[in-house]
Amino acid sequence: MVDLLPDRPRKGRGAIGNPSGRYESQTRQLIDDGWAEGGWAEGWTGQAGRGAGTAPALATEVGIDASRTVIARNASPDVPFDRSINPYRGCEHGCVYCFARPGHAYLGLSPGLDFETRIFAKPEAAKRLSAELAKPSYVPAVIAIGTNTDPYQPVEKRLGITRSILEVLWAARHPVAIVTKSNLVLRDLDILAPMAEAKLARVLVSVTTLDPSLARKMEPRAARPGLRLETIRRLADSGVPTGTLAAPMIPGLNDDELEAILEAAARAGATSAGYILLRLPLEVKALFIEWLEVHFPDRKKRVLALLRACRRGKLYDPAFGTRMTGEGVTAQLLARRFELACKRLGLAGNEWDLDTSQFEKPRPHGEQLALF
């Protein structure tokens, strides 16, 4: 008889396991057949608990996403933009709570470790974007970058796809709002600063916690909290309007930090703020529960109970109007605390108030210039 092996944390990775996606016809489980010595099963006794030891490290693989279009459209009443660009599918930051994880199931991959180790880049994104902006039917509105996966995740340092997109937008005088957890955004200040001066750019820096230890567990490859605050400071000092997102707020885990996060961001120069209650769609529910079992077993029951209290007894409710903020006493208290803190700190700016009147359609390669 074989023993089932539990998934174990991997250094630098957020998800604990790599469960099959919801469209797969087969599932995979690790077993100990008694032959492993000095390998995967070393140190595992079956009674040592789920957190016994760590599994081998996983390298990141980067593939190609050959999408023909790069501007994604949405009609959600819960977000202040109707179009966005995501230069990458999957995200090496490894945030365990990421609501984009279920998208990897469409690729036949796991929303777990596959999502943060098998990244798909869009090297033709700038070229595709230029073609879309040049269409006669295109009408400009703020494009959001980084609303699904981080445009400045580690692979961007080597590939520069996000930068190439910004170059197209700046040449076309097209407004953009960026959401990131990375200080790599500072690399592109030579583009963002003049865009901001022309009222064409804003940046939102997500700060989930001020506790480096918690951040390492929740967001293992994202910039540490202090570095994110310094990023806000440098963006603001360079004239780039900058806000913060205290997201996600997880009742019983990091919600007690809400005011401290907003205060720290305001001191650094943030002029606007937002928050989102933890969302656990599809496979993210099981991934988050497993993560709690490994890292916070003492808090697991309370955290899940509080989440259910905010979601009509469920761990997730996708209903428009409440999916970002939840319902009930706990959710209402969080919303009120956020409102009062923003009022006290002057965090009332509108990060989507950018200028669309300067837009100039890119000219397709080889097109003759107009005489008049």
Per-residue pLDDT of the chain (372 residues; tens, 9 = 90+): 444 446 788 889 999 999 888 887 776 666 555 555 544 444 333 333 444 456 778 899 999 998 899 999 998 888 889 999 999 999 999 999 999 999 999 999 999 999 999 999 999 999 999 999 999 999 999 999 999 999 999 999 999 999 999 999 999 999 999 999 999 999 999 999 999 999 999 999 999 999 999 999 999 999 999 999 999 999 999 999 999 999 999 999 999 999 999 999 999 999 999 999 999 999 999 999 999 999 999 999 999 999 999 999 999 999 998 999 999 999 999 999 999 999 999 998 666 789 999 999 998 664 544 444
Q: What is the pLDDT of residue 6?
A: 61
Tokens 């937002």, residue located? 274
* DSSP state string for 266-282: HHHT--EEEEEE----T
Structure tokens at 223: 């910039």
Q: Which helix (H) or strand (E) holds 197?
A: helix 189-197
Q: For domain 3-345, which CATH number applies: 1.20.20.10, 3.40.50.970, 3.40.50.2000, 3.80.30.30?
A: 3.80.30.30
Distance (Å, whole) CA 303 – CA 16: 18
User: Could you give the C-alpha distances from 63 to 101, 118, 155, 339, in angstroms and in order?
Assistant: 17, 7, 11, 42
Domain ranges of the chain: 3-345
User: Could you give the C-alpha distances from 91 to 103, 113, 138, 152, 306, in angstroms and in order?
Assistant: 11, 10, 29, 9, 28
User: Could you tell me if 87 and 32 are in contact, meaning their C-beta atoms sit under 8 angstroms apart?
Assistant: no
Structure tokens at 49: 């608990």
Q: What is the pLDDT of residue 41?
A: 44
* DSSP state string for 307-330: HHHHTTTSS----TTTTTT--HHH
Sequence-distant (≥ 6) Cβ neighbours of residue 283 within 8 angstroms: 19, 21, 22, 101, 102, 105, 111, 112
Q: Which helix (H) or strand (E) holds 81?
A: none
Q: What is the pLDDT of residue 46?
A: 35
In the chain the beta strands, taken as DSSP E runs, fall at 3-4, 31-32, 61-64, 71-73, 83-85, 88-89, 118-121, 143-145, 176-180, 201-206, 242-249, 272-277
Distance (Å, whole) CA 178 – CA 149: 11
Q: What is the pLDDT of residue 50?
A: 44
User: Could you tell me if 268 and 237 are in contact, meaning their C-beta atoms sit under 8 angstroms apart?
Assistant: no
User: Could you give the C-alpha distances from 315 to 202, 254, 279, 312, in angstroms and in order?
Assistant: 33, 17, 8, 8
Q: What is the pLDDT of residue 80?
A: 87
User: Could you tell me if 204 and 144 are in contact, meaning their C-beta atoms sit under 8 angstroms apart?
Assistant: no
Distance (Å, whole) CA 105 – CA 23: 7
In 165-321 the beta strands, taken as DSSP E runs, fall at 176-180, 201-206, 242-249, 272-277
Q: What is the pLDDT of residue 22?
A: 83
Q: What is the pLDDT of residue 44?
A: 38
